[in-house]
Copies of this chain bind each other. A is one copy, B any other.
Amino acid sequence: MSLALVTSSEKTTFAQAVASLRALTRDDLGRMDQEIMMRMDSPVAMIPDLAGHLINAGGKRLRPMLTLSAARLFGYRGGHHILMAAAVELIHGATLLHDDVVDASRLRRGTKTANVIWGNKESVLVGDYIFSRAFELMVSAENLRVLKILSHASSVIAEGEVLQLATQKNLQTTREMYIDVINAKTAALFAAATHTGAIIASAPQREEVAMEAFGRDFGIAYQLVDDALDYTGFEGKLGKTVGDDFREGKMTLPVILSVASADAEERQFWQRTIADGQQADEDFAVACEIMVRHDAVGKTLALAGQYADKAIANLSSVPATEDTEALRTLVQTSLSRAN
């Protein structure tokens, strides 16, 4: 069992770890929120309305906190990390808006999605606006290296989203293709978030590289847990619904592992429900049962543990500050988080 999995059995929850990191970065987060509100202001009322719904609706601000804490742990005293954090959060927000259109999602963080309230067209166009403003914002920091990293990350994210769509309902999808998808659609932005924080703070080359690797490995671990939770998480008042990935025919690791171990009957089940997209109400429960049989969720979480260990190992090369400690706890607790 991975070190991170063992350590995460301590009492601290993921929500508490997020709260600790938020307490450390509170002032910066407040300034970031102001920056975002200013950038989302527009005489076209639909823009601040829809963007406000997206940005204020209970998001954890996980990615911008990575940027802020990465800059803080190298003792950064300037203000450009606020701009970078805002850009990272806006890129993430624009991606969420378009994702929800593409997946026809109806609920996010317990709230109706923008595509349900305003419509698909509105979400596509306001997403484009948010994305453009993110670029405008990062250009204003006048740091070409950081611009290269964030603009490249955006391309990689979009490429990952297209790859995910292309592998949807395709039972031939391999574990390697899946890792490519989550590396692109999730880990690229986590990596850019921590990397740019370190760069803005003029971290030494070796530590800058360590922070990039930390973000990337944490991102992969985070998405692996997310994909496991879609088959095990509780569907409470808060949080997203479970079973979304199954209904959309997404080839996440729990499905890939189950298909790889399937007997003839199970194979037929996956063919019908995922490849052919013919699902009855009880099929999600059957899918969960099959996964238990092959320990597919357990194996997914074990892989997440390995990436979490790698992420945490990277932190040993950077200054040991309260931010570093908060990031370590964040990664550890993320493995046992609820949906």
Q: Is the CB of A125 within 8 A of B155?
A: no
- CB of A121 within 8 Å of the partner chain: yes
Indicate with 1 or 0, residue by residue over A46-58, a CB within 8 angstroms of chain B CB atoms: 1100000000000
Indicate with 1 or 0, residue by residue over A149-160, a CB within 8 angstroms of chain B CB atoms: 001101101110
- CB of A98 within 8 Å of the partner chain: yes
Indicate with 1 or 0, residue by residue over A129-173, a CB within 8 angstroms of chain B CB atoms: 101110110011010100110011011011101110110000000
Q: Is the CB of A125 within 8 A of B148?
A: no
Q: Looking across the interface, which residue of chain B has its beta carbon closest to that of A163?
A: B44
How far is B98's CA from A101's CA once the two chains are assembled, in angstroms?
12
Q: Is the CB of A158 within 8 A of B128?
A: yes
Q: Which residues of B contact A102 (CB under 8 A)?
A: 121, 124-125
Q: Is the CB of A165 within 8 A of B125?
A: yes
- CB of A283 within 8 Å of the partner chain: no
Q: Shortest distance in angstroms between A40's beta carbon and chain B's nearest beta carbon?
A: 11
Q: A132-B155, A135-B154, A144-B144 are in contact. Are A161 and B98 (CB under 8 A)?
A: no
- CB of A304 within 8 Å of the partner chain: no
- CB of A18 within 8 Å of the partner chain: no
- CB of A126 within 8 Å of the partner chain: yes
Q: Looking across the interface, which residue of chain B has its beta carbon closest to that of A152?
A: B136
Q: Shortest distance in angstroms between A117's beta carbon and chain B's nearest beta carbon?
A: 15
How far is B125's CA from A102's CA once the two chains are assembled, in angstroms?
8
- CB of A244 within 8 Å of the partner chain: no
Q: Shortest distance in angstroms between A194's beta carbon and chain B's nearest beta carbon?
A: 20
Q: Looking across the interface, which residue of chain B has its beta carbon closest to that of A128?
A: B158
Tell me the A residues contacting B by CB distance below 8 Å: 42, 44-47, 95, 98, 101-102, 121-122, 124-126, 128-129, 131-133, 135-136, 139-140, 142, 144, 147-148, 151-152, 154-155, 157-159, 161-163, 165-166
Can you list 12 pairs linking A and B with CB atoms under 8 Å apart?
A46-B165, A98-B125, A102-B124, A124-B124, A125-B165, A129-B161, A131-B131, A132-B154, A135-B155, A136-B155, A142-B144, A144-B144
